[in-house]
Amino acid sequence: MIRTPDWVKHAVFYQIFPDRFARSGRVPVKDGLSLKPWGAPPHEQGFQGGDLYGIVDRLDFLDELGVTALYLNPIFASAANHRYHTYDYENVDPLLGGNEALRELLDEAHDRGIRVVLDGVFNHASRGFWPFHHVLENGGNSPYIDWFNIHDWPLNPYAPDADTPHNYDAWADLPALPELNTDNDEVRAYIMRIARKWIEFGVDGWRLDVPYEIEDSDFWREFRKVVKEANPEAYIVGEIWHEAEEWLQGDQFDAVMNYPFLWPTLSFFGSETLRDYKKTHLTFEPLDAPDFADAITDVFEMYDWEITQAQLNLLDSHDMGRALWIMGEDTDALRLSVLFQMTVPGAPCIYYGDEIGMSAGDDPHCREAFPWDEHDTWDEDLLEHYRNAVALRHDHEVLRTGSIDIFYAEESVIGFRRELDDTVAICLFNAGPSSAVIDLDAEDVGVPLRRYESAWPEGDAPLDLDDGLVTTTLPAQSARIWT
Amino acid sequence: MIRTPDWVKHAVFYQIFPDRFARSGRVPVKDGLSLKPWGAPPHEQGFQGGDLYGIVDRLDFLDELGVTALYLNPIFASAANHRYHTYDYENVDPLLGGNEALRELLDEAHDRGIRVVLDGVFNHASRGFWPFHHVLENGGNSPYIDWFNIHDWPLNPYAPDADTPHNYDAWADLPALPELNTDNDEVRAYIMRIARKWIEFGVDGWRLDVPYEIEDSDFWREFRKVVKEANPEAYIVGEIWHEAEEWLQGDQFDAVMNYPFLWPTLSFFGSETLRDYKKTHLTFEPLDAPDFADAITDVFEMYDWEITQAQLNLLDSHDMGRALWIMGEDTDALRLSVLFQMTVPGAPCIYYGDEIGMSAGDDPHCREAFPWDEHDTWDEDLLEHYRNAVALRHDHEVLRTGSIDIFYAEESVIGFRRELDDTVAICLFNAGPSSAVIDLDAEDVGVPLRRYESAWPEGDAPLDLDDGLVTTTLPAQSARIWT
């Protein structure tokens, strides 16, 4: 029987790119270093100096937003500002405050009931990773030669030109990213030790970077075993951009990053304003309600219900343009997308800064510094909307773990029912630019004949289904939810 | 007023090259690694897999030998078998067992009253040191650019040929060894933090590698302050091969590795059998007793008496041929050298394996694996001699901290007096190939008229100076000590 952590089903996540979220001034080592100014244009290289104490300083802000879990992009020692190029899995990057800073973040977050999930990059390390350095210095005399798949000698990770390419397995053929030889027992043991170590340290789960590159189900079964032994409630969520059934049989991951959730969502709610934007595995093209209903039903029915409830439902991430940007700066479309995200199964994940209206294209642009000191750039109304939408989810268990059925999908309007024991929620979204008049029949909706109170907008008129039939009007780009 | 740690004055050190001393079988990470066989010819590269648990396993052997302090060649993470190329100052090398192994070694050694001094390599790191890797990956976008002295871009540590030399300050112009920019406040703070960290961890002192390369007395004054604040009894001993007065004024080092002690000693006791061996700063040429007396007097009078008692008196090290090899395999000459080392001021240091007759030339040859399982190769008599000579020193405080005066130096015989309060020791060494008859006059010797018991050889005839004059005979290559 498949089991996923209950807390995830009730969580609202917030994704943080650590170099750009908040700078604390509490990491002394940075005093004398040449960092880029906070808010500098985000380039492929350059460090703006966000750190984990900075996150601690903003936990109250996140708590107020309703966040109950953080997903942090990689934090282990790395020479890349995104830190996907690990050189030391045992230590949090010094620029982020080191292991002490993670200790404080975990303690402070847990005190507020906020969990913390780390990014685990186990397919490849960096050419600065110590065993790779060891092989580079010693060649065949290094005892670590079997930690990598080396084609010939001498090792050539810093090729001066294209005539002398790297000669070892590297992720995406990038010389900077030597792949770990996970067929080697010692390498496996090393990764499993790292996986266990940080869970035992207090981390609440792992988001796994490019796990499909380790084509070895036994590896991931062992990984799950190790992690769940350390903490049965730890969350394991893989970065898979497409259908991921092979990893979601209950013996490998709890869930995946739900990219298949975001493209129909943004395509439907942003259908009037979508940019011409492409991304592998994601298709952004205007969708009407019937097509959206089909696509999103697939998403919710693709896996076991236990998995579906634990999916990480995102609208964007560090690896793509921001949702607001993709939807052509249409804030109303973003509002509806967020509200939709908060009313369907799966843990919503907010990409840092989306809630104040940050908008930017593909990475590295979408990795901007959070403008804490420039409040005039914040969309305070949007922020308030996020808080309300998150609060709505927290207030209604039925929106989190209730079953979902779409009972209406015409033109630009979609309607669905959430149901948990004796509780139901009736949700209507109008993505279109004009108001829509909808006839509701309790039988079609699948709910008992009674009166339903408005949950969104708060204080709005109730839905009177005592007689089984009612006609309701949805303004352009609006939603109504009754329970 | 100059003060050095009292324990050093009474200590007998044992120097260990960790990759070659003992392999425990208790470092699981090594199970799947391609190590060289134990006892393989020691080359510049290649790991034989000694570890710190291996030292723990041999502490009883060392205790029986009379050792009260260990000086370990570098143990921090490094891709070189000698580990002078540090890539991580915060962690003991995984092959050595990591920090847990050092914890156990310190605890077990301290339980036996054995102190542990580490090798601190602070002038240069390695090109695998993470801030250097950081600069290599990010160029001018790395915040660590001022941690090194970089001449131009792009950084070129892995030059494919001589036409593209490295372009940063490197020790001895070796690209593998970028020098740390110790003028940078952050680098200083980093080094000071490392220096403090390991003393607080329980280490009893630092042997400083090439400290003369950091030409900055303030740096070393700060270093002393930091170390002594963490433990006022910590020992600071610099690797200076020549006169070192500038560092020995009481505000920088406690002592230096006493290379000026070894060349006259080996030259005198090995004068008949010396190999034609050269080493910068060291001159190995046959010495007669008067020349030896002059040279060794200089050694004992070169510095404040507090320093002299704390000097690390060695006969050889990992950086040169072994004493037995230099003296042309003349074991008797080695025996006398060791006994002399045990009867003069300064802490004697035994280079691992010398005590069982290991003999080899310059490094890397002198870094052989200790043949624990090949007892037939051990010189057991020599080992017994070492034990007795060390015990002699421990039994007689006068041999450790008594004043020293040479009263006799003719042909191949040297005689000196040690004196501490009411105790004296009269020491006679005959380095020559024939027996020597010596007339002793109590007044010349500078001792009261009385009878002196034989301390070496044990149970030998006493020296009767009741009448002030006595004639004694010293066999070829022998010594006699009375107290």
Q: Please judge whether A88 and B130 are an interchain contact, meaning their C-beta atoms are less than 8 angstroms apart.
A: yes
| DSSP string across B388-425 | HHHHHHHH-HHHHHSEEEEEEEETTEEEEEEEETTEEE
Helix (H) or strand (E) segment spanning residue A76: strand A76-78
Cβ atoms of residues A441 and A450 within 8 Å: no
* Residue B161 forms contact with A (CB below 8 Å): no
The second-level CATH assignment, the architecture, of A402-482 is: Sandwich (2.60)
Angle between helices B259-269 and B289-301 (to 10 degrees): 160
B186–A29 CB contact, under 8 Å = yes
B143–A95 CB contact, under 8 Å: yes
Token pair 């494919």 is found at: B160
Helix pair B185-201, B98-111: axis angle to 10 deg = 50
Query: DSSP string spanning B85-142?
Result: SEEEEEEE-GGGTHHHHHHHHHHHHHHTT-EEEEEE--SB--TTSHHHHHHHHHGGGS
Cα separation, A77 vs A303, whole angstroms: 35
B220 vs A37: CA distance, rounded Å: 35
Closest Cα in chain A to B155: A158
Q: Is the pLDDT of residue B265 over 80?
A: yes
pLDDT digits (tens, 9 = 90+) for A176-189: 999 999 999 999 99
Give me the residues of A, 100-159, that contact B with CB < 8 A.
126-128, 130, 133-134, 136-139, 141-146, 157-158
B399 close to B425: Cβ distance less than 8 angstroms: yes
Tell the CATH superfamily of the B401-482 domain: Golgi alpha-mannosidase II (2.60.40.1180)
> How many Cβ atoms sit within 10 Å of the Cβ of residue A218?
10
For residue B367, the model assigns a pLDDT of: 98
Cβ–Cβ gap A130/B47 under 8 Å? no
CB contact under 8 A, B31 and A186: yes
Chain B residues with CB under 8 Å of A145 CB are 34
Residue B159: predicted pLDDT: 80
Cα-flanking dihedrals φ and ψ of residue B474, to 5°?
A: -115, 120
The helix (H) or strand (E) run that includes residue B359 is: none
Q: What is the pLDDT of residue B290?
A: 98
Q: How many helices and strands (H and E) does chain B possess?
A: 16, 21
- Could you tell me which chain A residue has the CA closest to the CA of B28? A186
Q: What are phi and psi of B180, to 5 degrees?
A: -80, 140
Q: What is the CATH number of domain A130-173?
A: 3.90.400.10
Q: Which of B141, B150, B155 to mutate to test the interface with A (most CBs of A within 10 A)?
A: B141
The helix/strand/coil state of A462 is coil
Concerning whether B330 is annotated as a catalytic residue, the answer is no
Token pair 């939408």 is found at A389
- B383 with B355: CB under 8 angstroms? yes
The candidate with the shortest Cα–Cα distance to A148, out of A175, A121, A179, is: A179
**Length of chain B in residues, anyone?**
483
Q: In chain A, positions 431-470, which contact chain B (CB-CB < 8 Å)?
A: none
Please, which residues bridge with residue B439 across strands?
A: B471
We find that the CATH architecture of domain B6-123+182-395 is Alpha-Beta Barrel (3.20)
Give the SS3 label for residue B123: coil
What number is the average pLDDT over the span B287-304? Answer: 98
Selected residues 59-88 of chain B with any CB under 8 Å from a CB in chain A:
77, 79-80, 85, 87-88
Of the candidates B184, B127, B129, B182, the residue with the CA atom closest to the CA atom of residue B156: B127
Per-residue model confidence as pLDDT tens for chain A (483 residues): 899 999 999 999 999 999 999 999 999 767 678 899 999 999 999 999 999 999 999 999 999 999 999 999 999 999 999 999 999 999 999 999 999 999 999 999 999 999 999 999 999 999 999 999 999 999 999 999 999 999 999 999 998 776 778 999 999 999 999 999 999 999 999 999 999 999 999 999 999 999 999 999 999 999 999 999 999 999 999 999 999 999 999 999 999 999 999 999 999 999 999 999 999 999 999 999 999 999 999 999 999 999 999 999 999 999 999 999 999 999 999 999 999 999 999 999 999 999 999 999 999 999 999 999 999 999 999 999 999 999 999 999 999 999 999 999 999 999 999 999 999 999 999 999 999 999 999 999 999 999 999 999 999 999 999 999 999 999 999 999 999
**Residue with token string 């036409």:** B163
List for chain B the helix, strand, coil content (%; round to 5).
35, 20, 45
* B127 to chain A: closest CA residue: A133
* Residue B449 φ/ψ, nearest 5 degrees: -75, 110
Contact between residue B191 and residue B182 where contact means Cβ atoms under 8 Å apart: yes
The helix or strand, by DSSP H or E, that contains position A91, with its residue range, turns out to be: strand A86-92
> Looking at residue A34, what is its pLDDT?
82
**Strands in A189-341 per DSSP E:** 205-208, 235-238, 255-256, 278-279, 282-283, 312-314
Query: B456 pairs with which residues across the strands?
Result: B481
Smallest CA–CA separation between B104 and chain A, in Å?
20
Residues of A with catalytic function:
209, 239
Q: Is B379's Cβ below 8 Å from some Cβ in A? A: no
Alpha-helix residue ranges (DSSP H) falling in B250-322:
259-269, 289-301, 305-308
Residue A116 tokens read as 């913390």
A&B contacts, CB < 8 Å: 120
Q: Which residue of A has its CA nearest to B43?
A: A141
How many whole angstroms separate alpha carbon A37 and alpha carbon B477?
74
Alpha carbon distance B99, A14 (integer Å): 35
Q: Where are the domains of chain B?
A: 6-123+182-395, 130-173, 401-482
Measure in Å the smallest separation between the Cα of B42 and chain A Cα atoms.
12
- Tokens 């490392």 appear where? B194
Pairwise CA distance, residues A64 & B136, whole Å:
42
Among partner residues B34, B130, B190, which is closest to A77 by beta-carbon distance?
B130
Q: Which residues make Cβ contacts (< 8 Å) with residue A356, sequence separation at least 6?
A: A370, A371, A377, A378, A379, A380, A382, A383
Q: Coil, strand or helix: which one is B340?
A: helix
